């Protein structure tokens, strides 16, 4: 092995032209980037345009606008005044200032808005003001009389509906006492069938004619089974489902100012008790009763045993230290598992915790948990879980520290 000393190692470039080109390429001074520094021009504010005076009616929109320089002065402040006082704060007053454009909008003006409005611009170099007046006429000051009587007269003539007369035919009242031209017929039916009585009556067009039905001298009962019809001289009574107690005499009575008329018919309803209800096939009835006997299909009943143990926490909760807006989760294990009368409650520093949008409570088969979303410093403290049943109670606690 041959070892050379440092004095024998060649350190000078053997290609001067190449070294010169490399140094030229590595020279960062060739790439100069021009830097523009924007200089803020400091001049006093000056309004380039004037505000226009406004005369409006109550409820209209008031709009003031003007132009202002300098445009890019960050220290420039624009204020509005009415009669020398700052504008009140409210949704009706909407000032605007952007890139030299200044405006003020007043929504739904009222007579109290009348006055002199001043726009004042202030910066470090000075200030400037410009003024305009607003006159708002109240509704009582608005002229409501017509300025063109001839035109109003023509409009009233066009809107006069009395030009279009419609003939009214007055119906003549019938001056005749009621008369039944057709009497109802007697009916005999079986229980459950429909009953129909009908008759004809004159006069037909008497608006004061009143028709009533009676059963054995008493008004027919009101209900869904009884349907009355009286239409243009046609009178009818329908009983949708007849019972034996509906049997008797049915009377139709028509009354007007000149008299009355009466017609009657009888109803006989045969009761179902006179029908044969006993089975004519005893053997078949016995087989049907056997098939319908539900006692053949007995279902085994399971009686849940009552838990005879006081609650015990088998796994305690852990203390938590969290940053603000993190989620907190407390959990523990509890027995007995199947006790239906076991009640679980949560407390924060002795105050009961109720379910909410940030609070989630869980109790499922011995698993008990409390979840808090995006905790806050005021959530810090002691959290206690209390389990209670008929035989006793148990308590488990943990602390939460929010930084």
Please say which residue of 137, 163, 194 terminates a domain.
Answer: 137
Boundary of a domain, candidates 103, 137, 171 = 137
Does residue 143 form part of some domain?
Answer: no
Tell me the backbone φ, ψ of residue 233, rounded to 5 degrees. Answer: 90, -5
Residue with tokens 């940053």: 323
What's the mean pLDDT when you consider all of the chain?
86
Predicted confidence at residue 141, as pLDDT, reads: 59
Residue span of the structural domain in which 266 resides:
179-270
Q: How high is the pLDDT of residue 223?
A: 81
- Residue 282 is predicted with a pLDDT of 84
For residue 149, being part of any structural domain is answered with: no
One domain, residues 185 and 248: yes
What are 181-198's pLDDT values in tens digits? 999 999 999 998 999 999
Query: What is the pLDDT, as a whole number, of residue 344?
Result: 94
Asked if the structure places residue 388 within a domain, the reply is yes
pLDDT tens sequence across 356-391: 889 999 999 889 999 998 899 999 999 999 999 999
Residue 325 lies in a domain: yes
Write down the pLDDT at residue 196.
Answer: 94
10-residue mean pLDDT series, the chain (403 residues): 63 82 81 58 88 92 94 90 88 90 93 94 93 88 76 87 65 77 92 93 89 93 88 92 92 93 93 71 87 73 64 92 92 89 92 90 92 91 94 93 91
Residue 333 counted as domain residue:
yes
From residue 315, alpha-carbon distances to 372, 393, 399 in Å are: 20, 16, 16
Among 217, 240, 270, residue at a domain's last position: 270
Please tell me whether residues 62 and 126 are part of one structural domain. yes
CB atoms within 10 A of CB 402: 19
- In total, how many domains does the chain have? 3
76 and 128 fall within a common domain: yes
CATH number assigned to the domain comprising residue 114: 2.60.40.10
101-106/62-69 β-pairing: antiparallel
* Residue 240 is assigned to a structural domain of this protein: yes
- The residue with tokens 């698993």 is 367
Does the residue 223 lie in any domain?
Answer: yes
Residue 260 domain flag:
yes
The Cα 272–Cα 275 span in angstroms is 5
């Amino acid at each position: 092995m041959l070892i050379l000393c440092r004095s024998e190692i060649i350190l000078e470039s053997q290609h001067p032209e190449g070294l010169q080109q490399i140094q030229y390429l590595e020279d960062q001074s060739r790439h100069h980037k021009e830097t523009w520094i924007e200089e803020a021009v400091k001049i006093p504010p000056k309004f380039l345009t004037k505000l226009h005076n406004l005369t409006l009616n109550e409820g209209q929109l008031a709009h003031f606008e003007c132009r202002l320089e300098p445009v890019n002065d960050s220290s420039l402040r624009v204020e509005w005044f009415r009669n020398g006082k700052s504008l009140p704060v409210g949704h009706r007053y909407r000032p605007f200032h952007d890139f030299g454009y200044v405006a003020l909008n007043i929504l739904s003006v009222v007579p109290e808005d009348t006055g002199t409005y001043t726009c004042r611009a202030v910066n470090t170099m000075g200030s400037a003001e410009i003024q305009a007046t607003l006159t708002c006429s109240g509704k009582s000051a608005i002229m409501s009389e017509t300025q063109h009587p001839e035109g109003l007269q023509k409009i009233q003539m066009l809107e006069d509906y009395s030009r279009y007369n419609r003939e009214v035919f007055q119906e003549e009242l019938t001056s005749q006492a009621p008369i039944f031209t057709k009497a109802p017929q007697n009916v005999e039916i079986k229980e459950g069938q429909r009953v129909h009585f009908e008759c004809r009556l004159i006069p037909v067009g008497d608006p004061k004619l009143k028709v009533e039905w009676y059963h054995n001298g008493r008004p027919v009962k009101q209900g869904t089974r009884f349907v009355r019809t009286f239409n243009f001289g046609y009178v009818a009574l329908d009983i949708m489902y007849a019972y034996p107690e509906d049997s008797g005499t049915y009377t139709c009575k028509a009354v007007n100012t000149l008299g009355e008329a009466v017609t009657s018919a009888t109803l006989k309803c045969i009761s179902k008790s006179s029908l044969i209800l006993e089975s004519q096939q005893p053997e078949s009835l016995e087989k049907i009763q056997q098939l319908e006997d539900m006692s053949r299909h007995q279902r085994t009943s399971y009686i849940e045993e009552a838990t005879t143990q006081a609650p015990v926490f088998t796994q305690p909760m852990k203390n938590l230290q969290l940053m603000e807006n993190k989620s907190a989760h407390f959990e523990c294990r509890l027995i007995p598992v199947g006790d239906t009368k076991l009640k679980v409650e949560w407390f924060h520093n002795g105050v009961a915790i109720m379910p909410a949008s940030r609070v989630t409570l869980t109790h499922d088969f011995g698993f008990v948990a409390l979840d808090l979303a995006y905790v806050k410093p005021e959530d810090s403290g002691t959290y206690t879980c209390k389990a209670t049943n008929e035989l006793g109670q148990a308590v488990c606690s943990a602390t939460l520290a929010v930084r």
